[in-house]
Structure formats: C-alpha cells, structure tokens
Amino acid sequence: MTKISEKVESLLNKKVSRRSALKAMALGGVAMAGGSLLSSCGGEKKTEATTATPEGLKEGKVTMRTNPKNGDDISLLGFGCMRFPTLSNGRINEELTQQMIDYAYEHGINYYDTAWMYHGGDSQRVIGNCLRKYPRESYFLANKMPPSAQNLADAKRIFQEQLDLCGVEYFDYYLLHNLQRQSQWDDFYVAQGVYDYLLEEKKAGRIRRLGFSFHGSPELMEYLLNQPVDWEFIQIQMNYLDWEDPNMQARELYEMIAAKDIPIVVMEPIRGGALASMGERLVEMMTEERPELSPAGMALSFCATYPAIMCVLSGMTAMEHVVENVNTFIDFEPLSQKANDTLLEVARLHKANPSIGCTQCEYCMPCPYGIDIPHIFQIYDRTSQELNLPDPNGPHDKEFMRKRRLFLNRYKNTIAERATAEFCINCGQCEPACPQRIRIPRQLDRIESLVKQLKHI
C-alpha cells in the first residue's frame, strides 16, 4: 500500500511545477489585483498561520466559514461522499477511502455529505466507519431523505436505517433530497406529514439542522422559500458553467437564497469532473489568472468566492484530489473580479463545443433495457471537450479520419455490446430522474446517428 506521503510526493511531481510553486509563495498573503468578490457567509476564519512549502504544498488547515443562522464553524471545503474510490468489483475501496478521510480531517475538513442512494447506500456505512474514530462533536455529518421514499412509514424506516448505517445518534445537517417538483413538497412532505415528522426528529435531537437539496426552477425555489419554514441551509448545484446557463439558472438561484440570508452548500462545483479537464486553450486562459491553481482549483474557487457560500462539496475519488483541493482551501484566496469574468468567458467558449453535460451521477440508472447512459455520454463529452469530435459533414481529410478512429474506438472499447445507444427504445423512463435536465433519449439518438454515419465513411 502506498503511503500518503508518497502519494503527496507523486502529486507534487505531477501537478505542481517549481515555477508555479514559487509564484504561489510570492503571492501568499497579497491581495489579488482587481479586488475580491468576497465578504463572507457569517465571517471567515483562517484557523492557523500557514506557510507554503518550497514545493508549493501549503501547511495548515482549510479556511472555515461560520453559519450565520447558528454559529456552526464549517470548513469551506466539504467532502462529498458520492464518488469514493472503488475496487474492480465495484465495491468501495474502504482502505483508500479511510486514508483520504483521515487526510481531509487532519487538514480541517469537518463537513461530510452522504445520501441514501450514493454507492447503492454503502456510502453511508463507509463514511460512518471512517469517522468513528473521531469525536462525534468534531465533525458535521449530512444525510438526506431520498426521493424514493413513498410515505410517512417509509420515511421513518429509512431515517432509522440511515442512523444505523452511519452508526451515529444524530445527523448534523439533514436534507430533503433532490427537490425538483412542487408535488414532492406538497404531496409528500406536507400532505403525508413527513416534514412534521422530521421536525419531531429535530426536537428529539436526532437532526440538528434541516434544509433541502435542489434541482428545480427559480419558480419552485421561490415557492419553497415562501413556505412557513425556517430553512437553515440550502444545497444547490453551482459552478461557472451553470452560472449563466439559461437551463440551470445557478446565478438566479444563488441570488434568491442569498437575499434571504440562508447559507448555501454547493454541489457539483466541478460539474461531475468535467471542469477538471478542459481544452488546452481554456486552461491557458485560467493559468494566466491564477497560475498556482489547476482547472479544478479554479472551479472550486469560483464557488467559494461568493459570500453566501457556507461549504463547497467536492466528491473526491482519489488521494490526489484530496491533497490538491485541501491545498486550494488552506488560506483560501478568493478570485478577483477579473478571474471571475475570465471563468465566465471560459464557460462561453466551452459551450461553443457541444457537450451533453452529464455529471455521471447515475440517477437515471439502471435503464430497464440495459443502456449504459452515463458512459455513453462520458465518451461523447470527453471527446468533444478535447476538440476531438469528428464532424461527418466536414472534409474527410487526415485529421477527420484520426478523430473518427479515436471516437469509434473509444465507443466500441468502453460500452458493452448491447448497452450502446442503438438499443435505446425511447421509453423515456430515465429522463425525469436526470437533475441536469438532459433529454436522454434524444441525446442517445443523436449519438447513435453520429456513430452510424461515422461507421459508413
């Protein structure tokens, strides 16, 4: 087993050049030109004096923010427990996950976000086990009532099972998971008394803070904000790609919540990893602004710079992600207005290359007909973002043939024979589950047409 220190060593060798490290040191403690967007969500704390090592890896703990509603000191970087590393049999790699959680905890991350459906429910057991050795009051554990709960009895059973799976007596932050439609609130939480039940659990001390996670429209957000309910926090999808996107409307949602002084937890800040691997030209634009940050670091910093953000969740899959993200959040440097604007320009250029925007969340799975939806979209998006997508209507020159071969080989080698887009029967069952509002059958049809065209060239 590789030691953490060796992992860190390898990260340094791979990701942080000496030049950028020295530049980072030179910038340490100096306000960025152009001014910062940051004031803060209830106040910001830098827990310890920190220094940058000569290699660019900072020492100390991540920056904290205080929840203005209740005084909780929360780490600005939170650990999303949806994408733990897995073994070849698909089970969570618990040994590596433990090492990652230990590193995160030791560097001040104190907010851990799990859910009933992450890793088929196993995320809850694993994060509970990983945190057990630490004092219960030293971390915040978030969990969620799943949209699959049918009625009050179901909700009660699930809540108890969640406590048992995590091995805890209470959840610090508890969310109504994935609100997308008004009927979820009206019919399930209100009419069936599930919200009242959760309030009882709060009175009994088994829930400390109640909020919701959201994938709906601004109209629905308005409706929920106007309910006679004291929302203590709200979790939304926010990243620089969705900020001005007319479908996702992240900016509008952020502003509506911030206007009510409700602290915000961010999910999908790197959009399922898509913003970590941008095209070369776009990376250059980002590097000019903040040379010490990777594209993932820029994406996380975009969210954390906004003052109503209490915590930015990152679903970390490898030790390298934890080390790099922690480094970004030690003595967190907010983005300047200029860097913020550059990211919005990067988003506009990125959108000029058609990508589907699948975050690999797998909420649409399993498809009853066996279609491997997330992987099909992943191959398409990755190829597009690398500017390697072949255009069958353009010239069929050498470059086109290279792209054609690359795309078809990826498709054939990754997707099982009967799980390709060709076998989608357009039943539409998957579509309502998609929080990104992707028109799944339509996109699969588009990809299938492309594959067919390319095969016949």
* Minimum separation from the CB atom of position 377 to ligand SF4 (A): 6
**Least separation in angstroms between CB 237 and ligand SF4:** 10
Residue with smaller CB distance to ligand SF4, 286 or 358: 358
Q: Give least dist CB 188 to ligand SF4, A.
A: 20
Give the per-residue SS3 of the chain.
CCCHHHHHHHHHHHHCCHHHHHHHHHHCCCCCCCCECCCCCCCEECCCCCCECCCCCECCCECEEECCCCCCEEECEEEECCCCCECCCCCECHHHHHHHHHHHHHCCCCEEECCCCHHHHHHHHHHHHHHCCCCHHHCEEEEEECCCCCCHHHHHHHHHHHHHHHCCCCEEEEEEEEECCHHHHHHHHHCCCHHHHHHHHHHCCCEEEEEEEECCCHHHHHHHHCCCCCCCEEEEECCCCCCCCCCCCHHHHHHHHHHCCCCEEEECCCCCCHHHCCCHHHHHHHHHHCCCCCHHHHHHHHHHHCCCEEEEEECCCCHHHHHHHHHHHECCCCCEHHHHHHHHHHHHHHHHCCCCCCCCCCCCCCCCCCCCHHHHHHHHHHHHHCCCCCCCCCCCCHHHHHHHHHHHHHHHHHCCHHHCHHHCCCCCCCHHHCCCCCCHHHHHHHHHHHHHHHHCC
Least Å distance, CB 426 to ligand SF4, is 5
Choice between 31 and 427, CB closer to ligand SF4: 427
State the minimum distance, in angstroms, from the CB of residue 116 to ligand SF4. 16
CB closer to ligand SF4, 58 vs 350: 350
Select 159 or 380, whichever has its Cβ closest to ligand SF4: 380
Nearer to ligand SF4 by Cβ, of 227 and 426: the residue is 426
**Closest separation in Å from C-beta 362 to ligand SF4:** 5
Binding site for ligand SF4 (CB under 6 A): 358-364, 367-369, 371, 373-374, 377, 424-430, 433-434, 436, 438, 440-441, 444
Between 349 and 425, name the residue whose CB sits nearer to ligand SF4: 425
CB atoms within 10 A of CB 65: 25
Q: How far is the CB of 431 from ligand SF4 (least distance, A)?
A: 7
Spatial CA neighbour of 436 closest among 216, 223, 235: 216
CB of 357 to ligand SF4, least distance (A): 7
Task: Report the residue number, 143 or 436, with the smaller CB distance to ligand SF4.
Answer: 436
**Nearer CB in complex with ligand SF4: 257/447:** 447
Q: How far apart are CB 16 and ligand SF4 at their closest, in Å?
A: 31
Closest separation in Å from C-beta 442 to ligand SF4: 9
Q: Which is nearer to ligand SF4, 223 or 423 (CB)?
A: 423
> In terms of Cα–Cα distance, which of 98, 63, 66 is closest to 81?
98
Query: Phi and psi dihedrals of 413, rounded to 5?
Result: -80, -15
Query: d(Cα 434, Cα 363) in Å, to the nearest integer?
Result: 6
Q: For ligand SF4, give the closer residue by CB, 11 or 447.
A: 447
CB atoms inside a 10 Å sphere around CB 54: 10
